[in-house]
């Protein structure tokens, strides 16, 4: 950990379609044993109060709009952490008929935190990493710039859209309601090659 925390981040946690293994570990990181609160981390259920979005599990047709709605309700600057290998890439469910992949198929991801299940220490490390990215986004905002030029959004390809015959790349579907697509530059940041993969395990 080489980042000096400049804020007490509030996090919101959402279980995409995980087996609940990663959810237990995310919540464990907030308990007195691992004590993420020592960094001022507070768990909130209100996206409008949250700085960091912790997502577990892969993304499917049912939760794609939910993930996007939570993300869109959060105010800038905000960061997204994919918690666990399912959230990073789809994991063992990647080739399931209803799974479109990791969280970056729905929204831009700033920090990839692998593990099956993710460890509480990795969750805390990822939150600290996200705080550094939040600081960068805030600096860009204060200078009148676009925070989508920082972090995962800068290289996000728009993810996928749900069409009548299945999922299609957002670029082919005309971007649809994919968040941040207007400011995103199509390239990199795919599930196979995480832009900021953390090898914490
Ligand atoms: S990464 Fe492992 S523990 Fe976490 S949701 Fe996927 S299968 Fe479950």
pLDDT digits (tens, 9 = 90+) for 104-143: 999 999 999 999 999 999 999 999 999 999 999 999 999 9
Q: What is the structure's pLDDT at 184?
A: 30
The whole-angstrom separation of Cα 188 and Cα 109 is 12
Verify whether ligand 1 is closer than 6 Å to residue 89 (CB atom): no
Non-local CB neighbours of 166 within 8 Å, separated by 6+ positions: none
Q: How far is the CA of 125 from the centre of ligand 1 (A)?
A: 18
Pairing state between β 42-43 and 10-15: parallel
Bridge-partner residues for 59, per DSSP? 101
CB 101 within 8 A of CB 85: no
CB 171 within 8 A of CB 182: no
Verify whether ligand 1 is closer than 6 Å to residue 58 (CB atom): no
Q: Please report the atom of ligand 1 found closest to the CA of residue 118.
A: 4
Q: Please report the atom of ligand 1 found closest to the CA of residue 57.
A: 5
More confident call, 95 vs 68: 68
Atom 8, ligand 1: which residue's CA is nearest? Answer: 19
Long-range contacts of residues 137-145, Cβ cutoff 8 Å, at least 24 apart: 137/76, 137/77, 137/78, 137/79, 138/77, 141/76, 141/77
Q: Model confidence at 199, in pLDDT bands (50, 70, 90)?
A: very low
User: Which position has the token pair 């709009």?
Assistant: 65
Verify whether ligand 1 is closer than 6 Å to residue 16 (CB atom): no
Atom 6, ligand 1: which residue's CA is nearest? Answer: 86
Q: How far is the CA of 147 from the centre of ligand 1 (A)?
A: 30
Q: Is the pLDDT of residue 92 over 50?
A: yes
Map out the domains of the chain with their CATH numbers: 10-145 (3.40.50.12280)
Please write the tens of the pLDDT for every residue from 25-71. 999 999 999 999 888 999 999 999 999 999 999 999 899 999 999 99
Q: How far is the CA of 131 from the centre of ligand 1 (A)?
A: 24
Q: How far is the CA of 50 from the centre of ligand 1 (A)?
A: 24
The whole-angstrom separation of Cα 141 and Cα 84 is 30
Name the pTM for this structure: 0.84
CB 57 within 8 A of CB 18: yes
């Amino acid at each position: 950990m080489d980042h000096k925390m400049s804020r007490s981040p509030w996090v919101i946690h959402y279980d995409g379609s995980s087996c609940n293994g990663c959810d237990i570990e995310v919540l464990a990181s907030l308990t007195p044993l691992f004590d993420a609160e020592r960094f001022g981390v507070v768990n909130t259920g209100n996206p409008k109060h949250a700085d960091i979005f912790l997502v577990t599990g892969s993304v499917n047709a049912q939760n794609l709009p939910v993930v996007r709605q939570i993300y869109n309700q959060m105010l800038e600057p905000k960061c997204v952490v994919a918690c666990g290998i399912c959230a990073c890439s789809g994991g063992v469910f990647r080739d399931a008929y209803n799974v479109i992949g990791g969280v970056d198929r729905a929204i831009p991801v700033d920090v990839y935190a692998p593990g099956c299940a993710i460890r509480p220490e990795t969750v805390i490390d990822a939150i600290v990493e996200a705080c550094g990215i939040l600081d960068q986004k805030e600096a860009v905002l204060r200078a009148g710039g676009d925070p989508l030029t920082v972090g995962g959004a800068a290289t996000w390809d728009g993810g996928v859209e749900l069409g009548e015959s299945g999922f299609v790349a957002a670029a082919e579907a005309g971007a649809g309601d994919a968040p941040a697509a207007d400011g995103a530059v199509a390239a990199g940041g795919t599930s196979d090659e995480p832009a900021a993969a953390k090898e914490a395990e």
